[in-house]
Amino acid sequence: MQTLGEFLRVVQRRAPAAFPEAITQASLYEAIFITPATPEQVMRSAGEVALAHGLQFWDAVIVAASARAGAKVLFTEDLQDGRVLDGLKLINPFVAGNSAAVEAALS
């Protein structure tokens, strides 16, 4: 849910006219993709991850929620490409050299 919220925040700020369509798109993403809850345990874990790895708190929430949901790969352009955090391999899907890793993660 954090990433959907960030998506909406960016669209609202950078393309306000597209915001109503972005709300609809976020609802579609929520229906299609796993959107794990953010219970208290995830928030506590996120604090620990942020402290241990020097991450921004809300980035750590995404890492903690993804790890708790059993994800093995996290696509991100914000975090260090190739790094492994709490069992999650971070892959920047916009790096041309990562196309094979993206394909492997999606198959």
Question: Per-residue pLDDT tens for 16-65?
Answer: 999 999 999 999 998 988 787 789 999 999 999 999 999 999 999 999 99
Residue among 32, 51, 41, 46 nearest 2 (CA):
46
Q: Identity (one letter) of the amino acid at 101?
A: A
Flag whether pLDDT at 86 surpasses 90. Answer: no
What are the extents of the domains in the chain? 1-35
Confidence (pTM)? 0.79
